[in-house]
Amino acid sequence: MSKKYSCKKSFKTAFSLVELSIVVLIIGILIAGISQSSRLVRAMKLSTARSLTRSSDVNSIRNLTAWFDATAEGVFSTFCSSSDTNANSSTDLTSTTRSYNAANNPAGSTPSSAYVSPEHRQVVRLWKDSNPQDTDAEKVILESRSTTCATKDYSSSGTLGDNRGPMYHNSGIAGLPSIYFDGGNNWFSSINSVTMPIVAGKKDFSLFAVYRTDSDYAGGTHRNIMQFSSLGQAQNDGKYPALVASNNSSGCTTYPMLSWWNNNDDCTYKVYPNNAKYTTKPGSDYAFGVAIDANSSSTIVNTNTKLYFNSANPADNIIVGSNLTSLPDFVNQQLNIGGGFNNTNLYPYKGFISEVLIFDRKLTNEESSSVMAYLVKKYNLKAL
């Protein structure tokens, strides 16, 4: 019996050059689409945030004296003069120019044209407030007090903490532009005392800030989100108020605080909420607000002070340090954001700051609630 065998010829197939070209083209289109989609999402978020800011009730609240908003247009300058090698010099911070520091003004340009939209991870030198209640000539200008002058981004050269200046991120808190402070001595300070948001001797004011401390924020550290001080560094700077983020493991320093003294474990010069739900956590996003009026009694007590934390409602109750029975001095000349002084010590901030609002009076409960509601919505903050 004979067996029949069927012989089949096998062929090896492969993609042609045309087919491969089509596949590569499709992949390229998909990659470009994904990249473009990310940019569009960021642009949409930013447009929505700016629209929310423009329509916010904050614009109509009286006595708004400074509004530093990283999402605003034309508020940053990345310019760094070749001769400007030390931003700590007194000539930088005591300039008599009301609206601009002449040392950083590019030749042949006006102050307004020097403000740009920075690139992602780019060091910025100046931050102008976007307060709609002031004319351009009266804007408060902050200048990086970095000890060196450089505009290269951290991704290409240099290391964190090298004091080159605060850095712009186009996708920080809530995916919106924010300023990153790396814990070096490179925070922003006001250029001059002429446009100080709060005058010396003031006993009523309101302060609000949106921030996120680094997730590696070490226990036992204590950082100034913002602070008023005398010009440059002087003695007894602990007299001047600051919004503080702390990460100590015990005592009052587990909470956000309004502080007049910057010793890590000294609660006697601080005002802070008395409830565990207000404990700050590194790597989380917060809006912290303070409204205080000690004009009538010259003392800080629960009845004349309100603290707000990620909510339009004030903290349930607060603790006032024993040394704040009388309001400390407020003889200030300089506003610092992202750091501050305590006598000869420096307290730089580490993390993101997106927005700071300053009023030179105590806002009503309704007004404070409006400010906090705006910040909570804009930055999609979680209720505590």
- pLDDT tens for each residue of 292-303: 998 877 778 888
Length of the chain (residues): 384
How many beta carbons lie within 10 A of that of residue 318, not counting itself? 22
Distance of CA 231 to the CA centre of its chain: 21
Mean pLDDT, rounded, for 159-177: 78
- Provide the pLDDT for residue 376: 97
- Provide the pLDDT for residue 195: 75
Burial annotation 245-275 (CB, 10 A radius, 16+ → b, else e): bbbeeeebbbbbbbbbbbbeebbebbbbbee
Q: How far apart are CA 286 and CA 382, in angstroms?
A: 8
Who's near 295: CB < 8 A, 6+ residues apart?
203, 204
Q: What is the CA radius of gyration of the chain?
A: 26
Element holding 21 (H helix, E strand): helix 17-55
Per-residue pLDDT tens over the stretch 100-125: 333 333 333 334 445 667 878 888 88
Torsion-angle region of residue 323: left (phi > 0), alpha (psi -120 to 50) or beta? Answer: alpha
Residue 210 pLDDT grade (very low, low, confident, very high; cuts 50, 70, 90): very high
Convert 164-194 into a string of H (helix), E (strand) and C (coil). Answer: CCCEEECCCHHHCCEEEEECCCCCEEECCCC
CATH architecture of 62-378: Sandwich (2.60)
